[in-house]
Amino acid sequence: MSHIDGGRTASPAAELVEISYQLGSEHRDWASVAEGIVSALLGEGSMLVKASGSRMRDAGPADFVQVRLANLLEVLDDADAGDPEVRAAFDGSLVHPVGRRPSVESLLHAVCLTDGRARVVAHTHPVAVNVSCAPAAPNSWTSARSCVS
């Protein structure tokens, strides 16, 4: 039984592969540059999340890693956490260390799956949004760091 939909027989990884493929489909232009990630809450205090560096439309079951939520939430609650602490939290969060790492955006997914009570989280980086965020003069990016003025 799938943890995602509560009844179908597809595994969480298989369902995330399908969601990832649909969101990453070229004709939609929903996934560009860093593309985005998908995740699902598992019953063991963990989530299954697309690994960093894998393309949404090409992701297969091996492109997902199981991550302990407590490790990620703990580093989010630490106001003094810097890069070394975040790196250590991600290293310690891997249920099966296999060389693949979750994206840093997995922190957002951890919050959505716990505090937001979602069972599945998907986010993309649509072409239209990326274009609207890009400055007219590329060198001005350092002085204009967000889409909102």
CB 39 within 8 A of CB 65: no
Q: Please indicate, yes or no, if residue 93 is contained in any of the structural domains.
A: yes
Looking at residue 59, which CATH number applies to its domain?
3.40.225.10
Bigger pLDDT: 7 vs 117: 117
Q: Please indicate, yes or no, if residue 26 is contained in any of the structural domains.
A: yes
Residue range of the domain that includes 121:
12-142
Q: Please indicate, yes or no, if residue 1 is contained in any of the structural domains.
A: no
CB 40 within 8 A of CB 47: yes
Mean pLDDT of the chain, nearest integer: 77
Instruction: Give the model's pLDDT for residue 142.
Output: 47
Q: Please indicate, yes or no, if residue 6 is contained in any of the structural domains.
A: no
Residue with tokens 């840093």: 104
Q: Please indicate, yes or no, if residue 5 is contained in any of the structural domains.
A: no
Instruction: Give the model's pLDDT for residue 51.
Output: 86
Instruction: Give the model's pLDDT for residue 11.
Output: 86
Q: Please indicate, yes or no, if residue 65 is contained in any of the structural domains.
A: yes
Instruction: Give the model's pLDDT for residue 131.
Output: 53
Bigger pLDDT: 59 vs 143: 59
Instruction: Give the model's pLDDT for residue 144.
Output: 45
Q: How confident is the model at residue 138 (pLDDT cuts 50, 70, 90)?
A: low
Range list of H helices, 78-146: 83-93, 106-114, 127-133
Q: pLDDT tens digits, residue range 14-57?
A: 888 887 877 666 666 556 555 778 899 998 899 999 888 777 77
Q: Please indicate, yes or no, if residue 3 is contained in any of the structural domains.
A: no
Is a pLDDT exceeding 60 seen at residue 129? no
Q: Please indicate, yes or no, if residue 136 is contained in any of the structural domains.
A: yes
pTM: 0.72
Q: pLDDT tens digits, residue range 63-112?
A: 889 999 999 999 999 999 999 999 999 999 999 987 888 988 899 999 99
* 34 φ, ψ (degrees, to nearest 5): -80, -10
> How many structural domains are present in the chain?
1
